Structure 1
Amino acid sequence: MNVENFENLQVYQLSEKLANEVWHVVTGWDWFAKDTIGKQIVRSADSIGANIAEGNGRYNLQDNQRFVKIARGSLNETRHWLRLAYRRNLLTSEQVSKLTPIVKDLSPKLNACLNSFNRQSKR
C-alpha cells in the first residue's frame, strides 16, 4: 500500500461510505437513541476507515497488518450495533437494505488486504 494513496483504496472508500451512511441514519434518531447506540455505532463505523488510514501511514508491514485487523474488529463491532439498532426498531427496512451490502462487501475486502500483506511478508 502506498501512503499517499489510501484514499484511493476500495476498502477505504467502502469504509467511508459505511461511516457516512451510519452517520446519516443516526442523525435522525431521538436523543436517547443517539446518546446510547448512536454514539457507539458512529464511533465503530468511523474507526474502520481511520484504522485503514493509520495503518497505511505506518512504514512497516506488521503495523499495517495490525491496523487492518483492528479495522476488521471495528467492522464486527459495527455489525453488532446495527443488529441491536434493527432489533430495537431504530432502522427502517430501506436503511437496512442500504447498509447490508456495504457491510457484506467490506469484510472480504479487509480480509483481502490482510492476505495481500501476508503474501508480501513471505517474499
Structure 2
Amino acid sequence: MNLKLEELQVYQLAMEMAERIWNIVIKWDYFAKDVIGKQLMKAVDSMAANLSEGYGRFFYKENKQFCYYSRGSLFETKTWLIKAHNRKLINTAEFDQFIKDLDAIGIKLNNYIHSIGKKGGLGENPSQPPNDHQ
C-alpha cells in the first residue's frame, strides 16, 4: 500500500495539532511566547516536519530514523504543554485534550514506524511507486 504523505493519518493529526496549538500561542503575551511559545511551536511543528523528511528519504532506515525524531518531538511537545498548563497559559480542558491527542498520535506513530519496510505496510518504500511485477 503506497499512500501519499498527506494521506497518512499520523501526519494529518500532527499537522492539525500544530495549528490548534498555534491558535492558542499566538494570543499569549510577548514574554510567554518568547519563553514557552517558541519552544512549544518548534516541538509540535517538528512532529509533522520530521515525518515529511523521513517520508522523502529513499531508504527505510532513514525514514524510521526521522520517525524516531518525530516521536522525540512528540514527547518534547508534552513537556512544553505541561509547562504551559502549570503556568496557567492553557486551561485544564485544553491541556487534557492535547495530552489525549498526543497519546493517540504516539500510538499511530509507533504503528507507522513498525510498518516501514514491511511488504504491504503503510511505510512500504514511500519514495518509490509500487512495483506490480514482483
Tell me the CA shift for residue 77 of structure 1.
Answer: 0.4
Instruction: Return 5+ residue gaps in structure 2 as ranges.
Output: 120-134
- Pairs within 5 Å for 1:17-32: 17-32=16-31
Deviates more, 1:23-32 or 1:86-95: 86-95
Instruction: Return 5+ residue gaps in structure 1 as ranges.
Output: none
Residue 55 of structure 1: SS of its match in structure 2? helix
TM-score, length of structure 2 as denominator length: 0.82
Contact 2:78/2:99 (<8 A) preserved: no
CA distance in 2, matches of 1:5, 1:74: 22
Structure (1/2) with the larger helix percentage: 1
Q: Which has the larger radius of gyration?
A: 2
Aligned partner of 1:66 in structure 2 is: 65
The residue identity in structure 1 corresponding to 2:28 is: W
% same residue: 39
TM-score, length of structure 1 as denominator length: 0.89
User: Which contiguous aligned blocks of 4+ residues in structure 1 show a shift greater than 3 angstroms?
Assistant: none
CA distance in 1, matches of 2:91, 2:37: 15
Tell me the CA shift for residue 98 of structure 1.
Answer: 3.5
Aligned positions, number? 119
- Pairs within 5 Å for 1:1-123: 2=2, 5-117=4-116, 119=118
